[in-house]
Amino acid sequence: MLQPGGRIGEGERRPVRVAVLTVSDTRSAATDTSGDLLVAMIERDGHRLADRMLVRDEVTAIRAAVQGWSDGGGVDVVVSTGGTGLSGRDRTPEAVEPLFDKRIEGFAAIFHLVSYQSVGLSTLASRATAGVVGTTYVFCLPGSNGAVRDGWDKVIGPQLDSRHLPCNLVDMMPRLDEHRQELANA
């Protein structure tokens, strides 16, 4: 879905490798509908599913999954679902944000704008967040199917379309580790 202010340019879409992380104390592989939905949308849009994991809402498990994927080199993007609410067990932001080399500040604002159109003021209960860990984009979405659909179709998906103009996140991927390269050469 094309968003206001953007257009699709010429050429073919460049697929990226996306890992899906479901954070839940209650779901299993058989009941992970939001993870299933993410996988379907990733594949529908021509990207590659790099990996998929379901972990309990524990800081160490969430952090280990994201760090492992970002360190491994085989994942361009991590999209998590779940654990972004306000309850005592919702810990995804606490687990992931300390890993961020850079925060994608606009993601939460745009996600809440899109979410407000679907669920109204209930969007206040979400702590959706995003950032860059090494050379990997990380997006943390709420666990509902509606939030996953809105987050992917209206925010993440369009920015992972390499044809999206005037800019997109795919075109920035080769430059994500410039600061690390500078440090290595110093």
Which two tokens mark 116?
């407000």
**Average pLDDT, stretch 134-139?**
97
pLDDT score for 185: 72
- In which band, very low, low, confident or very high, does the pLDDT at 4 lie, cut at 50, 70 and 90? low
Q: Residue 110, Cα to own-chain centre: how many angstroms?
A: 13
pTM of the model: 0.92
Residues 16 and 170: beta-carbon distance below 8 Å: yes
What type of residue is 156? I
**Average pLDDT, stretch 161-169?**
92
Q: Who wins on pLDDT, 60 or 178?
A: 60
What pLDDT digit, counting tens, does each position of 13-62 carry? 899 999 999 999 999 999 999 999 999 999 999 999 999 999 999 999 99
Alpha helices in the chain (DSSP H): 33-44, 59-72, 92-96, 105-119, 145-151, 157-159, 169-172, 178-185
What type of residue is 59? V
Measured CA to CA in angstroms, residue 62 lies from 23, 65, 88, 125 at distances of 7, 5, 15, 20
CA distance 115 to 100: 24
Domains and CATH numbers, the chain: 14-185 (3.40.980.10)
pLDDT score for 100: 97
**Average pLDDT, stretch 158-178?**
91
**Average pLDDT, stretch 158-176?**
93
What pLDDT digit, counting tens, does each position of 61-113 carry? 999 999 999 999 999 999 999 999 999 999 999 999 999 999 999 999 999 99
Q: Which of 24, 55, 52, 27 is nearest to 38 (CA)?
A: 52
